[in-house]
Amino acid sequence: MTAKKITKITPRTLKGFRDYLPEEMIPRQEMLRTLEDVFRRFGFLPLMTPALEYSDILTGKYGDEGDSLLYRFLDNGKRDVALRYDLTVPLARVVAQYPALPRPFRRFQIAPVWRAEKPARGRFREFYQCDGDIVGSNDVVADSEIIQMGAEMLISLGIEDFTIRINNRKVLSGLMSDVGVEPGEEEMGVLRTIDKLPKIGEEKTRDLLSSENQLNSDSIDRVFDFLSIQGSIEEILNRLSGFFAEGSIGELGTKELKEVFSFLEAVGLSEKLAIDLSIARGLNYYTGTIYETFLGGLPGFGAVMSGGRYDGLIGTFCKEDIPGVGISLGIDRLLAGLEELNLIKKKATTSSVLVTIFDEDLVAPAAIAAKLIRDSGIPCELYPQAAKLKKQLKYAERTGKSLVVIIGSDEHEKNVVQVKDLNMSKQFEVALSDLPSWIQSRLT
Amino acid sequence: MTAKKITKITPRTLKGFRDYLPEEMIPRQEMLRTLEDVFRRFGFLPLMTPALEYSDILTGKYGDEGDSLLYRFLDNGKRDVALRYDLTVPLARVVAQYPALPRPFRRFQIAPVWRAEKPARGRFREFYQCDGDIVGSNDVVADSEIIQMGAEMLISLGIEDFTIRINNRKVLSGLMSDVGVEPGEEEMGVLRTIDKLPKIGEEKTRDLLSSENQLNSDSIDRVFDFLSIQGSIEEILNRLSGFFAEGSIGELGTKELKEVFSFLEAVGLSEKLAIDLSIARGLNYYTGTIYETFLGGLPGFGAVMSGGRYDGLIGTFCKEDIPGVGISLGIDRLLAGLEELNLIKKKATTSSVLVTIFDEDLVAPAAIAAKLIRDSGIPCELYPQAAKLKKQLKYAERTGKSLVVIIGSDEHEKNVVQVKDLNMSKQFEVALSDLPSWIQSRLT
């Protein structure tokens, strides 16, 4: 016989990837259920698409930078495949692929996406998106309702202090047309530079517009004239009305902005909204209303919820041009924000009761007691082996239990149990048949 | 200007991958919520691990065939990575990587896994697993409770007719030792052949044991002596008791089987159980109790829930040998089974109410009516644009709505709405302020 060399594999996660341990997962799952309930209240339907897609489904929609961040490889059958980069492009594929789906089509999807970005604090290569979209309507009623739903989501999570900052790509396109920038990559380049304004300031933005985007100084001035349009929603809408020529795309965008705000005012959301003409959104595919949402009390935290209208995207997959509009909630960033705002707490357990096993001969009575408790709907753990009571009690304390059920042979004979209340350091004798109701009244 | 060539990308999914459209997702999500609630009732905690792992975390645990089915590639940083193949090995990594996790550790995880298998009816390359595991106890109390929880899950889903077929790897190892087969790959080879018995029959199994596994005819006879041990649970346990030498691993396995059945009898599950000595489970890492679950009324449908004890697996990642036991429920296969048994129905919608938009000037009243309905907790859809009423009614019918709310200018002035009951083909005038309670009483 030869001695086998045993190599231990170091347990580790990939850079930019993470495990969600229970204390994070418990509040996370509660949050996801709340969000799903809001989706349902708004009539959105669940959809799930594969993690892997043919690469050509994904490329060419996110801009060159996006394409370079795809997890792309050849599978065992030499197919060129990639992990999804967002949930919007797979939705566009689905809508084109299944023409029998009723339209307007409202769907939601909560799922991970993958981007090979440089990891940073709060930025991961795998992260969860939570998307809601309305496909098949080119009316800003859909845009407005998506924004309304986004606001309802945050409110349902107990967040009151937030601002949804709204803009419209047609307004930006109007500006681009005025300064002689061609639609397509050239326009996207300018918009990406403008998108950096809040981070890098006016001077650097002007420099970039000149050096990177080849705008002359008159054009740069018009861009900043435009960006200087600030104030209340009413003021901005008024100033915008005079800014663009009649019949121009900029005027159309202005009209859309007005309609969105009129809808959202009707459903009582004005106070949560702002117009922000500097918002451009980095992705190629937006064509109308766009929005980003920021939490009050967390300046510099970044957007937690954003999206917009993409009327050309689905048309890349089929002959018909099908309009769409959506919103995407960054689950992980939002959770981090809620933690910082003390609106959510890590939780180590979902059950408050431990049933101990006194010795090997008393496994069955312990199992029966645990079953009684669970059958009444109360979560409970059975310690999974006979062990010293001290050890089992220590485990109960460590995992946040309130009540510990103990059944020795005396108790078993008398059909009773001992229940130790860890919060009160008191012990009670309870008849087995009364156990579920006794626990219920203790826990509430 | 140059004319751009527009290439349409054909919308399609990869072979072996699938989209879950809403009519499948709606019952699926209901099922998952039920399963999560059972996990919680048994004190299991949620965990989520990344889709991608370093390849060496995954290889060497599933056998050579499993390794060859990994979706494995070099990422942008030339790291050798792979998509997870199951949820058990990532759990083992987590337990080794975070020694501060309390033990015993009970976790559940519901997530997709990827295997580059030949696709077939009901077999996909991406499919969802639903796993529960107890880590840190080597006592069969844990095995028993996992099996009990599995049974509770099926019962919670309305399935009454199922059998959990239980075996023990130690019993099989005892047999292997008796016929002179070495532990490790050689033993796995024989067990894999035995695993095929229900599919290929005795004769072909004998042939394979001789040709593939080099067993002589005495050994093959002893194998079939062993496999002939059948009957009631009590009979099998009695016959097994005499089959193995005292102090052998086979005897230890027999004792474990007895303890598992004694526990499960105490919690009233005997009728759902059987001993099946031919079950071996294909994976390398099992070391004790193993089980597979079959639905009654669906012969030949395959196992919907299976698992077992793996006491060596976590030790491949750390110095300490940490025992574990788990169960895995095949979500997609189970759903297919429930559909065949008529225990679940496809569902096209989650909301029964559509609020129509009469014309562009009446968007706001419609939005307000929809908000009123939703605020009272009733799911409802707002048609996302002004359109001919006929078109909106057709959409309502197509998507399974029961009630359609209509607000023309007369209704708006009088603060009332018209509600069309599609099931009764009747129309009612309802005061706006009464709308939520009126709908509530109609829908229940």
Give residues with Cβ within 8 angstroms of B48, minimum separation 6.
A19, A20, A25, B109, B111
In a domain, A5, yes or no: no
Could B350 and A142 be called an inter-chain contact, meaning their C-beta atoms sit closer than 8 Å?
no
Could B47 and A22 be called an inter-chain contact, meaning their C-beta atoms sit closer than 8 Å?
yes
Tell me which chain B residues have a C-beta less than 8 angstroms from the C-beta of A144. Answer: 367
How many contacts, defined by CB atoms under 8 Å, are there between A and B?
A: 300
Reported as a pLDDT band with limits 50, 70 and 90, residue B164 is very high
Structure tokens at B325: 């036991």
Which tens digits make up the pLDDT trace of B295-345?
998 877 889 999 999 998 898 898 888 999 999 999 988 988 888 888 887
Which CATH number characterizes residue B364's domain? Answer: 3.40.50.800
- Which residue from A56, A145, A374 is facing B41, i.e. has the nearest CB? A374
Using an 8 Å Cβ cutoff, are B166 and B290 in contact?
A: yes
Q: Could you say which of A307, A340, A373 is where a domain stops?
A: A340
SS3 A342: coil
pLDDT averaged over chain B? 92
- Which residue from B8, B42, B45 is facing A22, i.e. has the nearest CB? B45
Structure tokens at A366: 């312990």
Is the same domain home to B302 and B165?
yes
d(CA A166, CA A144): 10
Is the same domain home to A212 and A307?
yes
Tell me which chain B residues have a C-beta less than 8 angstroms from the C-beta of A102. Answer: 348, 395, 398-399
Q: Which amino acid is at A34?
A: T
In a domain, B347, yes or no: no
In a domain, B376, yes or no: yes
- How would you class A109 by CB atoms within 10 Å of its CB: exposed for 0-12, middle for 13-18, buried for 19 or more? buried
In a domain, A327, yes or no: yes
Pairing of strands B72-74, A52-54: unpaired
Could B11 and A102 be called an inter-chain contact, meaning their C-beta atoms sit closer than 8 Å?
no
Instruction: Return per-residue pLDDT of chain A as tens, 444 residues.
Output: 333 445 789 999 999 999 999 999 999 999 999 999 999 999 999 999 999 999 999 998 887 888 999 999 999 999 999 999 999 999 999 999 999 999 999 999 999 999 999 988 778 999 999 999 999 999 999 999 999 999 999 999 999 999 999 999 999 999 999 999 988 788 888 988 988 888 899 999 999 999 999 999 999 999 999 999 999 999 999 999 989 999 999 999 999 999 999 999 999 999 999 999 988 876 678 899 999 999 998 877 889 999 999 998 888 898 888 999 999 999 988 988 888 888 887 777 889 999 999 999 999 999 999 999 999 999 999 999 999 999 999 999 999 999 999 999 999 999 999 999 999 989 999 999 999 999 999 988
In a domain, A345, yes or no: no
Is the same domain home to A282 and A416?
no
Which tens digits make up the pLDDT trace of A322-358?
999 999 999 988 988 888 888 887 777 889 999 999 9
Tell me which chain A residues have a C-beta less than 8 angstroms from the C-beta of B349. Answer: 43, 45
Token pair 């220590």 is at which residue? A394
In percent, the amount of chain B with pLDDT more than 90 equals 79
Is the same domain home to B331 and B366?
no
Using an 8 Å Cβ cutoff, are A405 and A419 in contact?
A: yes
Q: CA torsion angle for A197, A200, A203, A204 (degrees, to 10)?
A: -100
Is the same domain home to B84 and B206?
yes
ipTM, two decimals:
0.89
If one counts the domains in chain A, the total is 2
Nearest CA in chain A to B359: A141
Q: Could you say which of A340, A371, A397 is where a domain stops?
A: A340
Could A48 and B116 be called an inter-chain contact, meaning their C-beta atoms sit closer than 8 Å?
no
Residue of A8, A9, A115 for testing the chain B interface, max B β-carbons within 10 Å:
A9
d(CA B195, CA B192): 5
| Maximum Cα–Cα distance across chain B | 94
Phi and psi dihedrals of A258, rounded to 5?
A: -60, -45
Of A342, A397, A404, residue with least CA distance to A369: A404
d(CA B39, CA B148): 11
Which CATH number characterizes residue B162's domain? Answer: 3.30.930.10
Is the same domain home to A395 and A292?
no
In a domain, A3, yes or no: no
Is the same domain home to A436 and A335?
no
Q: What is the pLDDT of residue B3?
A: 38
Is the same domain home to A96 and A237?
yes
Is the same domain home to A299 and A400?
no
SS3 content of chain A, % helix, strand, coil (to 5): 45, 20, 35
Is the same domain home to B145 and B188?
yes
Q: Which helix (H) or strand (E) holds B399?
A: none
In a domain, A224, yes or no: yes
Using an 8 Å Cβ cutoff, are B400 and B349 in contact?
A: yes
Give residues with Cβ within 8 angstroms of B133, minimum separation 6.
B88, B91, B106, B107, B108, B146, B324, B325, B326, B327
Q: Could you say which of B279, B311, B340 is where a domain stops?
A: B340
Nearest CA in chain B to A400: B102
Is the same domain home to A415 and A390?
yes
Which tens digits make up the pLDDT trace of B13-61?
999 999 999 999 999 999 999 999 999 999 999 999 999 999 999 998 8
CA B219 to chain centre: 38
Of A93, A124, A134, A127, residue with least CA distance to A110: A127
Tell me which chain A residues have a C-beta less than 8 angstroms from the C-beta of B81. Answer: 14
Which tens digits make up the pLDDT trace of B82-131?
999 999 999 999 999 999 999 999 999 999 999 999 988 778 999 999 99
d(CA B312, CA B323): 7
Is the same domain home to B179 and B96?
yes
Could A318 and B76 be called an inter-chain contact, meaning their C-beta atoms sit closer than 8 Å?
no
Could B98 and A19 be called an inter-chain contact, meaning their C-beta atoms sit closer than 8 Å?
yes
Which tens digits make up the pLDDT trace of B220-234?
999 999 999 999 999
Token pair 């200007």 is at which residue? B1
**Residue B157, phi-psi category: left (phi > 0), alpha (psi -120 to 50), beta (remainder):** alpha
Residue range(s) defining the domain that contains residue A60: 22-340
In a domain, B263, yes or no: yes
CA-to-CA dists, residue A430 to A350, A386, A439, angstroms: 23, 22, 10
